[in-house]
Amino acid sequence: MRVSVCICTRNRPDELERALRSLEESSYPIHEVIVSDDSTDNATSRRIRRSFPELKYMRGPRQGLAANRNHCLASVTGSHVLFMDDDVVLAKTFLWNILKTGQQAERTEKPPIVTGLENNRGKLVHPNEQSFLGFQSRVYRQGEPLRTIVINSTVFPVQLFDELKFDENLIYGYEEVDIATRAAGRGYPIVLAPGAINDHYPSAANRDYYEPHVEASRLYATFKRYRFTERKRVKAASFLAAASLHALLHGVKERKPGRAWRTIHHSYSMIARLRY
């Protein structure tokens, strides 16, 4: 397993340096490190040139997180890929746990996607299934096949990305749900490595930039799953009506109806651009 670690970053040079230092402590050898930088200034590029000249650094496309992930993929030469946010710390034995689980997984026609867990400031995050409205809130039943992942703790076979890419309509949020559900739909098994746990320290930087996209991404990605991955037209239409009403009522409750309308309009605009 030759692991390419891809880190997409935006205006977080301090967090990025901590993430990169953690890669140096990995007890499993890392094949390559790729950083795609969507920053709006030169602070990150200067830090990389000074402290990490050996890694692959490139300017990002500045078209959102999904586009930035695809930008990384174009430079990958390993057999497997780990996407790590710039505010994540890699556990020393994480990759060994992933390798062990992958080797023990049932042999299938397509190689497994192995997802671990995430320690998010003391809270352990598992890969939960989506509810009908698209929230990742439903705990999987014992023996139920996984269709979602924890992106900061997931190692993908590079073969997957010959078939699928991240959906660049998704500026931020739910791009990991979208890629995982589509991969599962194409026969890639998702297996859990409960001992593979990375630490996530969510940075406040960029939250104002990313936040407006999350709810629209949920509506778009969930509609896309029902309509095209699962091929359930009625379920997709029912979801869109129910989710739109839910978003509007929530906006009224929070006294932000204008924001709710913008979210709904944005998601519908994304759906209108769907090409599947």
Output the CA torsion 171→172→178→180 (10° steps): 130
Question: Looking at the structure, do residues 192 and 226 belong to the same domain, yes or no?
Answer: no
Domain boundary pick from 169, 200, 231 = 200
Half-sphere CA count of 43, side-chain side, radius 13 A: 12
Tens digits of residue pLDDT in 235-246: 999 999 999 999
Question: Looking at the structure, do residues 108 and 82 belong to the same domain, yes or no?
Answer: yes
DSSP letter string, 117-130: EEEETTEEEP-PEE
Domain count of the fold of the chain:
2
Q: Output the pLDDT for position 276.
A: 72
Please give the structure tokens belonging to residue 160.
């997957």
Query: Within a 10 A sphere around the Cβ of 152, how many other Cβ atoms?
Result: 25
Domain boundary pick from 157, 181, 200 = 200
Give ∠ CA 206-3-83 in degrees, rounded to 5: 20
Going by C-alpha positions, the residue among 226, 227, 224, 204 that lies closest to residue 216 is: 224
Tens digits of residue pLDDT in 60-82: 999 999 999 999 999 999 999 99
Mention every residue, 6+ apart, whose C-beta is less than 8 A from residue 214.
172, 173, 174
- Quote the CA–CA distance of 226 and 130 in Å, as a whole number: 11
Q: Which residues pair with 113 in a beta bridge?
A: 190
Q: What is the CATH number for 162? A: 3.90.550.60
Question: Looking at the structure, do residues 162 and 231 belong to the same domain, yes or no?
Answer: no
Question: Looking at the structure, do residues 162 and 181 belong to the same domain, yes or no?
Answer: yes
Question: Looking at the structure, do residues 36 and 155 belong to the same domain, yes or no?
Answer: yes
Q: Output the pLDDT for position 204.
A: 82
Q: What are phi and psi of 48, to 5 degrees?
A: -65, -45
The sign of the dihedral angle between the CA atoms of 214, 217, 223, 225 is negative
The sign of the dihedral angle between the CA atoms of 225, 229, 230, 235 is positive
pTM over 0.85: yes
Query: Within a 10 A sphere around the Cβ of 266, how many other Cβ atoms?
Result: 18
Question: Looking at the structure, do residues 147 and 34 belong to the same domain, yes or no?
Answer: yes
* Residue 35, amino acid: V
Please give the structure tokens belonging to residue 209.
């930039």
* Residue 107, amino acid: R
Question: Looking at the structure, do residues 9 and 50 belong to the same domain, yes or no?
Answer: yes
- Helices H / strands E in the chain, number of each: 9, 11
Judged on CB neighbours under 10 Å (0-12, 13-18, 19+), 96 is: middle
Q: What are phi and psi of 62, to 5 degrees?
A: 55, 45
Question: Looking at the structure, do residues 56 and 193 belong to the same domain, yes or no?
Answer: yes
Question: Looking at the structure, do residues 178 and 232 belong to the same domain, yes or no?
Answer: no
- Is residue 206 pLDDT above 90, yes or no? no
Query: Within a 10 A sphere around the Cβ of 4, how many other Cβ atoms?
Result: 24
Question: Looking at the structure, do residues 159 and 215 belong to the same domain, yes or no?
Answer: no
Going by C-alpha positions, the residue among 247, 268, 243, 242 that lies closest to residue 257 is: 247
Question: Looking at the structure, do residues 235 and 168 belong to the same domain, yes or no?
Answer: no
Question: Looking at the structure, do residues 28 and 72 belong to the same domain, yes or no?
Answer: yes
Domain boundary pick from 151, 173, 200 = 200
Question: 255 or 135: whose pLDDT is higher?
Answer: 135
Q: Show the domain range for 150.
A: 3-200
Per-residue pLDDT band at 212 (split at 50, 70, 90): confident
The average pLDDT across 160-183 equals 97
Judged on CB neighbours under 10 Å (0-12, 13-18, 19+), 120 is: middle
